[in-house]
Amino acid sequence: MTETKRKRNFLKPLIIGAIAVVVTGGVGAYAYDKYETAQRAKIQEAYSNVKMNVGNQINQNNNNGNNNNNNNNSNNGENGANSNSQNTDQSSNVQNNNNNNSTQQNVQNAKSQQEIRSIVAQAISTPEQNINFVKIKPEYEDDFAYQNNGAPLYVYDVEARANGLEYDVVVDAVSGKVLKVEIDN
């Protein structure tokens, strides 16, 4: 009779421990699944707020201002005509240089890091002061060579943290166009 009692005392904690592990594992899996579902929804919402054409809007605003200046110069009489002919000569020189160096980007016209911060903030629909910029690195990127006649494109590789998410953003350093956005938790 003592042996039977010992076997029962030995099995009872094992069975209770096994049940506890199964229940705890099930609850943990359920909680993890809920967490993953919430994170996926958060990332999906962040992607829906991304604006890829931010750089183009900024350039369009700058171009509108330049067109207005050219129109004002042409309305200023002879001096305006002279400056227009000078502008035409300069633009034809630029076009000739562009034809000679069609694969080279003019990096002197690259955006500043502050401008890139502003573009990224607009792209991810978050105020700039709420973003922690981890990395803003200018580099030549082969992935976008098709946009630059086969030559590496000069871009800013930006890593930022905002809204509990990590953003990897690639911005064209010259035009300011947002080329790629990846979001991770």
pLDDT band at 2 (very low <50, low <70, confident <90, very high): low
| 145/53: higher pLDDT | 145
11 φ/ψ angles, rounded to the nearest 5 degrees: -75, -35
CATH match for 54-184 among 1.10.287.610, 3.30.460.80, 3.10.129.10, 3.10.450.40: 3.10.450.40
Q: Which of 162, 155, 123, 159 is nearest to 141 (CA)?
A: 155
* pLDDT value, residue 155: 92
Q: In this structure, what DSSP letter does residue 152 have? A: P
pLDDT at 110: 85
Crossing angle for the helix pair 54-74 and 78-100, to the nearest 10 degrees: 140
Q: How many CB atoms lie within 10 A of CB 156?
A: 25
Closest to 47 in 3D by CA, of 151, 131, 158, 169: 169
The string of pLDDT tens digits covering residues 72-128 is 444 444 444 443 444 434 444 444 444 434 445 567 788 899 999 999 999 999 999
Contact 123/52 with Cβ under 8 angstroms? yes
What kind and span of H or E run contains 182?
strand 178-184
CB 90 within 8 A of CB 73: no
Residue position matching structure tokens 């160096």: 101
